[in-house]
Every structure is written in structure tokens, then in C-alpha cells.
Chains A and B, each alone.
Chain A
């Protein structure tokens, strides 16, 4: 019994690390049939939480270091060698801080809001394929599930803002709602183009559809390397920045005007939960971007497929997270009207146009004459680039139309 258990554990770890299917089967066989589903679920969820928890700690440190370097500072460098233990110190600080609940707050909702935010972000992890055989929940409508649970985070943000009974919290929460609903539309429409082309709502199948190589195994068949895919990827990235409340779309918690938005009345562990959920949301949506556009766990070159698949997934995810940090270090925060105008007047038309372009790309695949690929590329790229330029010019022209005059300031 004990021998089987230990054997099962080692076999499970070995099979997971070396990318083999049915990693858990031997370990599960030790248990009676009735408890097997529960054990299996725990075995799936716990490494996921631990892994993303570690990634969260690492990302907070990398973010602070990276932003520091962008501003020619050192970043945290006191706790441990080169500051690598900073997340531990931050975590300890968060946990030991007093949990303050405003006297007039709605205590139950105030308590529930951070929990209701963490749960959907963790649920969103369930459908992402992390490796060849590492899919926590194989779901034929995985993308739909992802967006469904992702949308429920809006509710918890508003719960936090409403229950705090603080004007800054409420204003922040209302901004967050406006922002998240506006950006959910281009986010979903840009991923619809992938769903159209792949012909499936299942993340596993979408990754499989991108698992081939052109030019002798050197050019991967990722959707980001097509004109509609690149456009979709950029729209998806911008919208996901807004969805996860990251800079430059962090107006729900704009310090200069709203203190900390819906987080104003939160302290201690509850604040830490919000912080965690924000990063988990970033990972989840980054993971979805990797799955939809960057070929999921596939290697960029066919010969590199020997490296375990989950390594590629994590590398791509970290590359995206670094890009997010880079953007945070570059772009200043938008105003609310700029933010909403950008979503409704620019991203939404572009994402709708992208759907059409994806359709054209799909139906011109049957073209069979010399340089067909080149002609398809040029056609689709022009269909995006021309409206992009015109739309950008039109929006800019409108912005400059009214010249502001100041009576008292010169």
C-alpha cells in the first residue's frame, strides 16, 4: 500500500515532468474508486495554485525591479541577496497588518468581495492547456467558460466599491465597471476570429490547430503570424490590459484622483487577496492570449519540441507579462473619456473589421496561383492598415478641433 503510494507519487512527478499522458493514474489506483475524483481534483488544483502563487511572487519582484531599471533606479535590493526575498517580506507584512473594516461598511459584502474576486480568476485557470497533457479541465466550450467566469470579476469589484461606503471606492468601482464592460467587447470579438478559424471553442483544439510548421519546421503556424492574427493579438493585448486593470488602463485605482479606487477601504489580508486576484487575472488572460495567438505550449521551432511543453507555455506567458510591465513603465494613465472613446470608437470597429479580414483569409486559402500567399497577405494587411490609418487620423483630427483657451492661465 505505502510502497504503491510512493511509487505512484514518483511516477506521477516523472510523467508530469517528461510530458507523458495519464500522469496521475498509478497514484489514483491506490485509492478506492469513490474518493478518486476528489484526490484527482486536489492533485490538479494544488500544483496550479502553488505554481501560479510562486509566479505571482516572482512577478511582483520582477515588476518592481524592471520598473526601477526603466527609471534608472535599483528597485528593491535589501531583503535577501539582490532583494529576491522581497515578496516574502511583502507577504508577511500584508498578513500581519490589521484588518480594518469601516464602521458603516456592509460587513458581509465587504468580506465577500475579495473572495468573489479570487474564485473566478482561479476558475479561469481551469481551462487553459499548460502543456501537451496538462489541462486541468478539458472543456469543449473552454473559451466561453473563460469569458463567463472572467466577466463575473466585475461584480466583485463593484461589491468592493459599494460595500465600503466610501465615495472614492464607489467612483473607482463605477469606473471599473464602465471600463471592463467596454473592453470585454473588443476582447471577445478579437478572440472570435481565432474561434472562427480554428472552428472550435476548445482551447485544447485551438492549440492543436496551431501545432504545425512551415518552411521546414522553422516558421510556426501560430495565428499571430497572420495579418488578422496580429491585429487580433494586439487588440486582445490592449483589451486584456484594460480587463486586468493594468496601467495605462488603471483608472479604477488612479492614485491621484481616487486614492486606491475600490481598494481604498481594504487592508491586510483582504487587500492582499485583491492584489493576488489582479495578478492572477493578468496571468489567466495572458495564458489565454498565449493559447489563442501564440501557439499555446508549442515550441517556436519544430526541433525544439523535445523541450517539455509546459516550459514553452511558461516562457511565453512570462514574455507577455514582461511586455505588460514594459508598457506599465512607459505609458501614462488615460482619462476616463479617452479610455472609453478608445474602446468604442477605435478598438470595436477595428475588431469587427478584423473578423471580416479573418473570414477573407480563411476563404482565400483555396487560391492556387503563383504568389497566392503574398497576395493574400497584401490584401488582408491593406484591409487593416488603411482603415487603421484613416480611423487614427479621424480620431486625432476631432481631438484637435476645439482649441482650448484659458482666461487666467497663460
Chain B
């Protein structure tokens, strides 16, 4: 009969209305600043720089190769390469960023910088409470603000962080094994006392970035 559907609908809304008072299970609202849901592991907001150990200056994985700067679609990254070098996680001397700025008012959270980084140095954060009273300076994050420890990375994206750590450890083990083998070969060569031995191989390079 005509009008039946409306009666049914009215009953349904009435049920919802009354149910919301005596059945708190129905209410889906999370009252945000006071209550918070645990962050989802897949959540991504803006990039940050990972460092190993305690010291942000010393442990920063970034080697200022500037690939992310070149790849960034909205051009929100600014990097100045250092003059000197410091050892990286395998002990090889590398440049480091003297300046590393990301303007998060420009950043579009596309994650391309993360995809292109060959050093696992830049990762996505999940912090969204970034409102600021200064919309120019306040949203321009410098190296000190961007650098966050590996433990933070483990906290927000545990699966990905474990994977990255495994990869880096494997890389390091490979490099060390090779160095050891080279050293042994060198020692053997020296022991053999061959005068015209070939020059020792240079230390293995860290994974080279793919051509841009």
C-alpha cells in the first residue's frame, strides 16, 4: 500500500533515535581531543628523516644525494649538501645534508620521496596535528624538526620498519663479509709475497642510486 515504506522508515529512525540513548554501543562518535583511536599502521601524513642511534646529527641516514629533491612533484624539499663527509651505517664516508627543509604547506603527501630514496632515510610520518599560528615559517620544517629516531619509525609503522632494518642489516653484513674476504685475500696475497699483485679492489659501494 502507498505510504507503507514511509511508516517502516519512520519506525527505523525512531528505533535508532531511542536506541542511541539506552544502547551506547550504537554511538560511533569518538570525541577527538579527549578520546583518540589508536593510529592505523597504514596512516601516512608527511615525510620525516630517520636517524639511527641517539644522536640525530650523527645517525642521520640521509647522504644528501638530492634525489628526493629532484623527484618531489610540488618541489617542497630543499637540500644543501655538506662540504665534509661523515661515516654512514656501514662506516663509509658520505656527505650529509647541511640543510634539509620540507615545506609541509606545499607537500602533497605523495610519498614519492620515500619511494626513490635508496638509503631508507626518508619515511612517512603519521602525525596530523600540525596546525600552526604561523602559516609560513611554522609549516617549514627544518632538519632538527624532521629528524626522528628509528624507534619512532618502529612505533608508527612496525612492519615496514622491521623490513627496512632487515634490509639494512643484510646490506651491512654483506659489506662486512666482503671487506673481510678482501682483507683475507689481501693478507693472503701479502703472505704469498707476490710483488706484482694486482691492486686491491676498492671498498664495495653502497647500493648506487638508479639513474634519475
Contact = CB atoms under 8 A, between A and B. Distances in A.
Interface stretch (A8-16, A323-331, A366-374): A323-331
A391 B10 contact: no
B2 A326 contact: no
Contact of A70 (B1, B3, B16, B31): B16
B14 interface: yes
Q: Size class of B's contact patch?
A: 10 to 19
Given A72-B26, A73-B27, A73-B29, A330 B2 contact: no
Given A391-B2, A395-B2, A70 B27 contact: no
A71 B16 CA distance: 7
A327 B10 CA distance: 7
B1 A330 contact: no
B9 interface: yes
B84 to A, nearest CB: 54
Given A72-B26, A331-B6, A392 B17 contact: no
A389 B29 contact: no
Contacts of A73: 27-29
Nearest to B5: A331
Contacts of A391: 2
Given A72-B27, A73-B29, A329 B13 contact: yes
A396 B9 CA distance: 18
Contacts of A389: 1-2
B13 to A, nearest CB: 5
Contact of A392 (B3, B10, B26): B3
A326 to B, nearest CB: 7
Nearest to A393: B2
B129 interface: no
A74 B3 contact: no
B12 to A, nearest CB: 7
B54 interface: no
B20 interface: yes
A19 B12 CA distance: 41
A69 B17 contact: yes
Interface in A374-394: 388-389, 391-393
Nearest to A66: B17
A171 B31 CA distance: 40
A69, A331, A389 — which one has the most chain B CB atoms within 10 A of its CB? A69
Given A69-B17, A389-B1, A330 B29 contact: no
B9 A330 contact: yes
Contact of A330 (B10, B26, B27): B10
Given A388-B2, A389-B2, A395-B2, A72 B16 contact: yes
Nearest to B4: A392
Nearest to B12: A330
Contacts of B31: 74
A392 B2 contact: yes
Interface residues of A, number: 20
Nearest to B28: A72
Contacts of B29: 73-74
Contact of A326 (B3, B10, B19, B26): B10
Interface string A192-224: 000000000000000000000000000000000
A179 B14 CA distance: 28
A69 B2 contact: no
Nearest to A395: B2
B136 interface: no
Interface in A320-346: 326-327, 329-331, 346
B6 A330 contact: yes
Contacts of B2: 346, 388-389, 391-393, 395-396
B10, B14, B17, B27 — which one has the most chain A CB atoms within 10 A of its CB? B17
Contacts of A327: 10
A185 to B, nearest CB: 20
Given A392-B1, A392-B2, A330 B13 contact: yes
A327, A330, A389, A395 — which one has the most chain B CB atoms within 10 A of its CB? A330
Interface in B1-48: 1-3, 6, 9-10, 12-14, 16-17, 19-21, 26-29, 31
A74 B3 CA distance: 30
B198 to A, nearest CB: 70
Contacts of B1: 389, 392
A178 B16 CA distance: 35
A223 B10 CA distance: 24
B14 to A, nearest CB: 7
Nearest to B11: A330
Contacts of B26: 72
Nearest to B10: A330
B24 to A, nearest CB: 10
A326 B13 contact: yes
8 tightest Cβ-Cβ pairs between the two chains A and B:
A392-B2, A330-B13, A330-B9, A69-B20, A72-B26, A70-B13, A69-B17, A70-B17
Interface of A: 66, 69-74, 326-327, 329-331, 346, 388-389, 391-393, 395-396
26 contacts: A66-B17, A69-B16, A69-B17, A69-B21, A70-B16, A70-B17, A70-B20, A71-B16, A72-B16, A72-B19, A72-B20, A72-B26, A73-B27, A73-B28, A73-B29, A74-B29, A326-B10, A326-B14, A329-B17, A330-B9, A330-B10, A330-B12, A388-B2, A391-B2, A393-B2, A395-B2
Given A388-B2, A391-B2, 10 more contacts: A69-B17, A69-B20, A70-B13, A73-B27, A74-B27, A74-B29, A326-B14, A326-B17, A329-B13, A331-B6
